[in-house]
Amino acid sequence: MAKEILIVQSKVKDIIKKKNFQCSAEAIEAFSAQLEESVNKALARAKANGRKTVKAQDV
């Protein structure tokens, strides 16, 4: 089963289309996975700093 997509696909595709490129479904999945990895890193940083609130500085 595929993982849940965490991004708004239409918005990402709009950005790509405005630059005269096309976007595959696999690219959307990769962008979503990259976002999940970034979120997990931010969570770890917040936890390491003794916080339960993720702040911009954690990203």
Smallest CA-to-CA distance from 16 within 27, 3, 4 is with: 27
In a domain? residue 3 = no
**Cα dihedral 39/29/5/37 (nearest 10):** -10
> What is the domain range of residue 56?
27-59
In a domain? residue 20 = no
The confidence band for 2, taking pLDDT boundaries of 50, 70 and 90, is low
In this structure, are residues 30 and 9 in contact, taking their beta carbons and an 8 Å threshold?
Answer: no
Regarding pTM above 0.95, the answer is no
State how many domains the chain has: 1
In a domain? residue 49 = yes
| pLDDT tens digits, 3-56 | 899 999 999 999 999 999 999 999 999 999 999 999 999 999 999 999 999 999
In a domain? residue 8 = no
